[in-house]
Structure 1
């Protein structure tokens, strides 16, 4: 074990095992700390891949601290096993836990005592980890650490101010505790991330376009554009390598290096998962995030619009934490820990390779998954070209010819390669079909179900990416499945769909997160598949629906304005009639009074009609 660091000699250890350096008393809290403490204290599996903890999350506040995905931020980096690491703002410890599993020594500092105590509970079996209540200012300014990790903290340093000085001072303070060859790993949201461009509320203020407009209203935090962020780091003495994080740094599934955008823009466009999640108010989608991202990449500015940035910064030689030949890293989502996969995108002299490794290879598969085989190809070359599904969507008139080329490769076998579907087939420059991303074999799945599976997942993308009129104006995804499957000779009636849903839900239940029994997961999957089948095609193009709704609202506003004008005219007429009635009363002309009353009554009745 590494020798103690200077900060470990300071303060006192409280009853929870945290070393108290200071009582910062920061106001930021989400109220979940007590709930999290109870969950973590009762857990038997505290690891960064703990499905037990992930399953215990009940809302966003608890999920943020318990999900296995948080650690992907660092799983994408090569942390030295003998490293001393300082984590600033460790929260409830999801990143801390992973660090403790990977490196020799971790000092984790958190200003909120309640959160620090949860982090200590999460790391209670890790003697190499010390959790401290305090801030960066409490850490002696001595060059002690090989790595400093700052995740979701820089934006809060100056309480939303636009002045650069507090941020630069904070970064210089970090530099003072790093060894000369040390590395800063910093994660923060992008002020102009693509999700904000298409209408997602800003993550800290919950206001749409707030960061895009430069935070015109008070904000508890302030994020930065790429140019400004690297400028702050440069002023503080750092040289930076910036990675784009998707959907963001909170639930990272993809990290992309700038070099990938230079090497292969189509790959940089295709890899990130969209749409990104909304953590508070659900956005009114004004544009398709995936299509907007593709346009930004195609025009050469994509690196500025990732939803979050992960910065690997140093003050000397480039850090080996992110090797120079690594173009990106991607992680699978929502799987059992045993089946989680890390894919590195690696450049070499002859092109680009995908290098895949199991994240938790030593873990056993859950009982009930015997009919599923996970066949992971360690390395595969990147094939340039278009997916078969891309070509189908670009030219629906050729869908039959293209899909038959796929169907000819689908054969009846005991073990079905269910990943052999149109979006996993590349048509290269010589018009050859190249199969990619093959992971799963499923026993007894069957050829008909396999063909419907390809049609189903293609139909979801077709509904999202194309015009319904290109396909004969189908109403639901089920209609699109029927059309696509018909091209390969499969009749999709209710019985065929029932067989497919049963087979697919059993497969999904075997490999997806184990938050319930296999039977319960299968039942849930059945419901999700049927919901997708019955989804209206127009629902996939939310920005168009939002446009239609806006047009309807404008029409309603115009109608209400017309009604208001009519009411004003009627009120004016009523005023005239009442004036005449008053005059007639004065003259004691009773017959005229009765007539005026009848007229006034008609006007009043008209006013009260809906």
Structure 2
């Protein structure tokens, strides 16, 4: 049985009649959105709804993971686990035909409605094992994006992942490719405090899934073992960053990240996370040690002929007019080249502008010590691109970082001075690259090359304005760079406080110009409310509170209380906020003073007894305090006491109780630190409540 939605065909021959999994009402909400709104409105809806599922299923950035694949219009594509169609649209635009398989009818309806104009899409609804026998054996690409980890649920048995892959291989055309996007079980983000993507708990993948379940992610080594068991020959691995879900960059073994590149790590859209360490710094060390393939957050494994691409970067978190893709690949002669493609029709003018910018900047810097990377125009399938030479060298920002690391401040300023001299050449010419940041200059000995001049404008821009922005961006990228003496830099540039304020405002306006009305992914993360917890701060606060919540005991043997006759009992706390201890004292002690903390606090007395007899807390001749005793439903022996002072205390007169030669005071209480202002408010409310009770006020 088939249905059609627009130009999309839905095949229900293997549909069991009900959906066995569903995300609940949010899927109804998404279905309503795709029925009512066009794709160009999704960004606005994502910002308005502030919902992780809506972002995850409808963001155009989800397509990045397959957009760069060299799929041709003659190719047949099989997408297993197509869900709500996050990548189906990209596959449809590239391929001759796309066959989708998904168990959920609701999700398949969402897919069909959002791509209703795609006449080359057929969606099979049903369990993969039921649909698979009817599928042909000539697919050029088989895509499993966030699906392979569910092999146990799809296939079952003792070797589900091997069996899953063997089944897929039967449907691959000669020379075809299987593309698998999956989280790395040992991705750095999990060590740094992100929750496991599927189970939503901390460290479950790292701990080898101790609680079981059907979902499994893998290391690269384990994936290769699975491939070997299936007789896979050619295979290659690529590294989506920050991960495959909202990928902005793809690295390969032929082009790995450099130091300082992996700085976009706070991507916890769906869940709270901890921040156990600085991931950027950790990645820098991992890159230097050659371990990136071990700790990459995600993998894109390609079974079949390796891709020609070595590197891809997406800049589509922008306004439509500026969305581009940057690739590093090899030309027909085997030489590395760099290409920039427009991702929208509107962005074609932006790409053509790069070629114009090259000619103008080449003219400005002719005869200088700053080279401008050569740019050539090109066209592919009617789409223009800008082609650049692949330049060797190290980013100027990396050289500056090394100076800071070895505390060579003069070396840093020497590089900065050279930057000013080189980029300031021809300052009076009405053309300038506004984005002349340190990372956009490659240094090879005495050879400095400007490699990216996307944001070139036909106007004069003061060198000090360009340099201020370069420093501003450099410091913002990494907190460790705050060690720079910024006053010295501002003095060198002769920038006043008012000018600095104007430059910062200019930067904000530039970012608005680039992004248009589209929110950045960082802004969206803030909207969704994923908290970032820093345990190092917790520990600091705990240690501080631990010191402030120390219990101190004073003994008065007739001379009054003094620090000399006081001590701190050990091992007071049996649990967080729960104190339980005993105080031993002899028969010469007249008064015993108990200070529950060294800060304002509230104490709930569970037990206060001397030699086995409760201390009569309501008898002011026996028990006094500088706090406020609150009435308790548990009786007079178990009140709470509020202290709005940094020297809270309770005094017990021992000589009028059953004092003996050797005595024991037993104490059990809950102690909670509270701000002093809050404690005063609580004491005021208690007094007001008493007055209302007496005078009948409401």
Q: Tell me whether 1:22 sits opposite 2:27 in the alignment.
A: no
For 2:48 and 2:484, how far apart are their aligned partners in 1?
Answer: 43
For 1:424 and 1:346, how far apart are their aligned partners in 2?
Answer: 19
TM-aligned CA distance change 1:189 to 1:407, over 3 Å: same
The 8 Å contact of residues 185 and 219 in structure 2, kept in 1 or not, is answered as yes
Aligned to 1:535: none
The 8 Å contact of residues 128 and 154 in structure 2, kept in 1 or not, is answered as no
Q: 1:297 aligns with which of 283, 287, 290?
A: 287
Say what the alpha-carbon RMSD is for the aligned residues.
Answer: 4.0
Q: 2:313 aligns with which of 315, 330, 338?
A: 330
TM-aligned CA distance change 1:398 to 1:175, over 3 Å: same
Structure 1 SS opposite 2:201: coil
Larger relative contact order (C-alpha < 8 A, sep ≥ 6)? 1
The Cα of 1:87 is off from its aligned counterpart by 0.7
Deviations 1:366-386 (A, max 9, x none): 9xxx9xx98785213232224
TM-aligned CA distance change 1:290 to 1:163, over 3 Å: farther
Deviations 1:292-323 (A, max 9, x none): 22222222222122111111113xxx25xx12
Residues 297-376 of structure 1: matches in 2 within 5 Å?
297-314=287-304, 318=305, 322-323=307-308, 326-347=309-330, 352-362=336-346
The Cα of 1:209 is off from its aligned counterpart by 1.8
Residues 138-157 of structure 1: matches in 2 within 5 Å?
138-139=131-132, 140=134, 142-157=136-151
The 8 Å contact of residues 53 and 67 in structure 1, kept in 2 or not, is answered as no
For 2:155 and 2:294, how far apart are their aligned partners in 1?
Answer: 22
For 1:211 and 1:51, how far apart are their aligned partners in 2?
Answer: 32
For 1:362 and 1:597, how far apart are their aligned partners in 2?
Answer: 89
Structure 2 SS opposite 1:260: coil
Q: 1:499 aligns with which of 470, 479, 502?
A: 502
Aligned to 1:287: 277
For 1:393 and 1:580, how far apart are their aligned partners in 2?
Answer: 65
For 2:546 and 2:157, how far apart are their aligned partners in 1?
Answer: 43
Aligned to 2:238: 243
Aligned to 1:487: 492
For 1:71 and 1:608, how far apart are their aligned partners in 2?
Answer: 54
Unaligned ranges ≥5, structure 2: 359-374, 376-385, 527-531, 553-571, 574-578, 586-591, 593-607, 617-652, 674-698
The Cα of 1:214 is off from its aligned counterpart by 0.8
For 2:440 and 2:615, how far apart are their aligned partners in 1?
Answer: 83
Structure 1 SS opposite 2:327: strand
Q: Tell me whether 1:174 sits opposite 2:168 in the alignment.
A: yes
Deviations 1:68-95 (A, max 9, x none): 2111111221112201111111111121
The 8 Å contact of residues 581 and 668 in structure 2, kept in 1 or not, is answered as no
Structure 2 SS opposite 1:259: coil
For 1:161 and 1:290, how far apart are their aligned partners in 2?
Answer: 38
The 8 Å contact of residues 241 and 297 in structure 2, kept in 1 or not, is answered as yes
TM-aligned CA distance change 1:579 to 1:360, over 3 Å: closer
For 1:201 and 1:299, how far apart are their aligned partners in 2?
Answer: 26
Aligned to 2:419: 406
The Cα of 1:280 is off from its aligned counterpart by 2.9
Structure (1 or 2) with the larger CA radius of gyration: 2
Deviations 1:330-380 (A, max 9, x none): 1124112331221212357897432222222455789xxx9xx98785213
Aligned to 1:553: 542
Structure 2 SS opposite 1:290: helix
Aligned to 1:12: 2
Structure 2 SS opposite 1:106: strand
The Cα of 1:605 is off from its aligned counterpart by 13
TM-score, with structure 2 as normaliser: 0.68
Structure 2 SS opposite 1:78: coil
The Cα of 1:577 is off from its aligned counterpart by 6.0
TM-aligned CA distance change 1:424 to 1:576, over 3 Å: same
Unaligned ranges ≥5, structure 1: 1-10, 262-266, 473-479, 532-541, 583-592
Q: Tell me whether 1:62 sits opposite 2:57 in the alignment.
A: no
Q: Tell me whether 1:432 sits opposite 2:447 in the alignment.
A: yes
TM-aligned CA distance change 1:499 to 1:164, over 3 Å: farther
For 1:86 and 1:160, how far apart are their aligned partners in 2?
Answer: 16
TM-score, with structure 1 as normaliser: 0.77
Structure 1 SS opposite 2:254: helix
Residues 466-477 of structure 1: matches in 2 within 5 Å?
466=481, 470-471=483-484
TM-aligned CA distance change 1:498 to 1:490, over 3 Å: closer
The 8 Å contact of residues 155 and 163 in structure 2, kept in 1 or not, is answered as no
Deviations 1:536-570 (A, max 9, x none): xxxxxx99x64253244245447657573786235
Deviations 1:492-539 (A, max 9, x none): x1x2233223322222222215338xxxx9xx99x99xx9xxxxxxxx
TM-aligned CA distance change 1:106 to 1:598, over 3 Å: same
Which structure shows the bigger proportion of residues in helix conformation?
A: 1
Q: May I ask how many residue pairs the two structures share in their alignment?
A: 535
Structure 2 SS opposite 1:311: strand
TM-aligned CA distance change 1:200 to 1:119, over 3 Å: same
Residues 585-596 of structure 1: matches in 2 within 5 Å?
596=656
Aligned to 2:513: 510
Structure 1 SS opposite 2:152: coil
For 1:190 and 1:570, how far apart are their aligned partners in 2?
Answer: 55
Q: 2:105 aligns with which of 91, 104, 113?
A: 113
Aligned to 2:32: 38
Aligned to 2:392: 383
Aligned to 1:98: 90
The Cα of 1:191 is off from its aligned counterpart by 0.4
For 1:186 and 1:547, how far apart are their aligned partners in 2?
Answer: 37
- Tell me whether 79-88 or 291-300 shows the greater mean CA deviation: 291-300
